[in-house]
A and B are shown apart, each in its own frame.
Chain A
Amino acid sequence: MCLAVPVKIVSIDGDAAETEIAGVRRRVSIAFTPEAKVGDYVLLHTGYAISVIDEAEAEETLKLLEEIASLNEVH
């Protein structure tokens, strides 16, 4: 129910955006994320973008994960 997936915005037309993920296109509402721009990834929940994905934060989390894993090589 609270399922949400990242999709990429390919074009914007007012409150609606055309999005793409793994070759699947879908028209979604960006009424809750007016700051979303073409090229952004947004989190899609039941037809609505509910958050713009912060790529810098995503990178930061990955770096943190890699650090933790490398410090803890299982021998």
Chain B
Amino acid sequence: MKFIDEYQDNKLARGLAYKIAKRSTTTIRLMEFCGGHTHAILRYGIRQLVPKTVEMRSGPGCPVCVTATADLDKAIALAHLPDVIITTFGDMIRVPGSYSSLQQAKAEGADVRIVYSTIDAVEIARANPRKSVIFIGIGFETTAPTIAASILKAQQDKIENFYVLSLNKLTPPVMKVLLDSGEIKLDGIVCPGHVSVIIGSHPYEFIPRDYRVACVISGFEPLDILLCIDKLVEQIEKGEPKVEIAYPRVVRPEGNIKAWQLTENVFEIGEANWRGIGIVPQSGLKVRGKYEQFDADKAFSVSPKPPREPKGCRCGDVIRGAAMPLECKLFRKVCTPESPVGPCMVSSEGACAAYYQYGPPENLQDF
């Protein structure tokens, strides 16, 4: 397929890997923020292609994984309200909450439907005027504009039974929290390509400036990622950290201004609760007062029991890059994609799922 196949060429990948190996003299640690990158890095064996001097860690960039248990419990409680239809993206329904999951709620009779797009959620509301249709709004900056658009669409078409539970999260603020905590030392960040399509490259500028950590925005094909790693190694070797775009076919420095303006019209920035990290100020999106009729938090009140985390699950540590999936005692033994203990094994972008799917044990031993 055009714009995909060209960036998967094996020979070019080897040439690039060779160049990275030649360039890299000091041992460095990079974090790929985005779960999509983790998945591609494992799938294409990029960990094995890059020299031993380059260590890769996964970050918090999996919206399903970072959804706090308390928020998930709230979604499950909403599903049990009478005359409610829950609409959500696919991975969300299998994530275990404290006491149940959306899938289990569905098995118990709740109406829970997987949608591909927020457009579908609005259409379900239109087709079911007697039901309250709640969309579980998870995602980063990439997805937020589509959720904002669904609220605007519902308003425009006078669909009064459509609601959003806004659990949207923002990327740069959580990067700051990770860097401030100093829990793991990073030399460079593989910045999320599709988040950057929306917000551009400027919101990362504080990272090289204040933390001297290199930032390169990457696409998702193997050659894109190798090119990004090459640029990161170059910046770090030169001691000149900055923000670079290695995915210029879709990312512009200013981002997608129209999409972000629309998002800011519907949402205001507020705190958000992140699994494994906790409350991060200025890292979430709340529905603005002028659209409060669509805000599930305003329209419904549920009081789920206090949350509890799955016992033994180290998803929180994995999300912060502080542990590798293999360091979790449950990995592969108790926790598998068929019976996941934590969200990092459920989501197709979760680090545990990626290591389970693509990590042959012999390659993973030295982690």
A58 touches B139 (CB 8 A): no
Known contacts: A2-B142, A2-B192, A68-B16. The answer to whether A54 contacts B89 by CB under 8 A is no
A47 touches B145 (CB 8 A): no
A51 touches B15 (CB 8 A): no
Interface range for B: 35 or more
B119 sits at the interface (CB 8 A): yes
- B residues near A (Cβ < 8 Å) are 1-4, 6-7, 9, 11-12, 14-16, 18-19, 22, 34-36, 61-64, 89, 91, 116-120, 138-140, 142-143, 145-146, 149, 192-195, 197-198, 223-224, 227, 230, 246, 248-252, 256, 258-259, 262, 347, 349
- Which residue from A29, A32, A41, A60 sits with its C-beta under 8 Å from B3? A41
Report 23 cross-chain contacts, Cβ distance below 8 Å, ordered by A residue: A1-B143, A2-B34, A2-B193, A2-B194, A3-B194, A4-B197, A21-B1, A22-B1, A31-B149, A32-B145, A32-B149, A34-B258, A46-B146, A47-B119, A50-B142, A50-B194, A51-B251, A51-B256, A53-B249, A68-B230, A72-B18, A72-B22, A73-B15
Which residues of chain B are near A58, meaning CB under 8 Å?
3, 6, 249
What is the minimal beta-carbon distance from B122 to any residue of chain A, in angstroms?
11
- CA–CA, A8 and B2, complex, Å: 9
- A residues near B (Cβ < 8 Å) are 1-6, 8, 21-22, 29, 31-34, 41, 43, 45-48, 50-51, 53-55, 57-58, 60-62, 64-66, 68-74
Which residues of chain B are near A34, meaning CB under 8 Å?
258
A29 touches B119 (CB 8 A): yes
Main secondary structure of the interface of A (DSSP, over half): mixed
Known contacts: A29-B119, A48-B117. The answer to whether A6 contacts B197 by CB under 8 A is no
What is the minimal beta-carbon distance from B147 to any residue of chain A, in angstroms?
9
B16 touches A69 (CB 8 A): yes
- CA–CA, A65 and B20, complex, Å: 12
B35 touches A54 (CB 8 A): no
Known contacts: A6-B1, A34-B258. The answer to whether A47 contacts B116 by CB under 8 A is yes
Which residues of chain A are near B223, meaning CB under 8 Å?
65
Which residues of chain B are near A48, meaning CB under 8 Å?
117, 145-146, 149
By beta carbon, the residue of chain A nearest B226 is A65
By beta carbon, the residue of chain A nearest B18 is A72
- Which residue from A1, A29, A70 sits with its C-beta under 8 Å from B63? A1
What is the minimal beta-carbon distance from B36 to any residue of chain A, in angstroms?
6
B15 touches A69 (CB 8 A): yes
Which residues of chain B are near A54, meaning CB under 8 Å?
248-250
A43 touches B2 (CB 8 A): no
- CA–CA, A16 and B256, complex, Å: 18
B198 touches A50 (CB 8 A): yes
By beta carbon, the residue of chain A nearest B22 is A72
What is the minimal beta-carbon distance from A19 to any residue of chain B, in angstroms?
13
- CA–CA, A56 and B11, complex, Å: 23
What is the minimal beta-carbon distance from B139 to any residue of chain A, in angstroms?
6
Which residues of chain B are near A71, meaning CB under 8 Å?
15, 19
B146 touches A53 (CB 8 A): no
What is the minimal beta-carbon distance from A23 to any residue of chain B, in angstroms?
10
With A2-B35, A2-B61, A74-B18 known, 4 other A-B pairs at CB within 8 A are: A1-B142, A32-B149, A46-B117, A65-B7
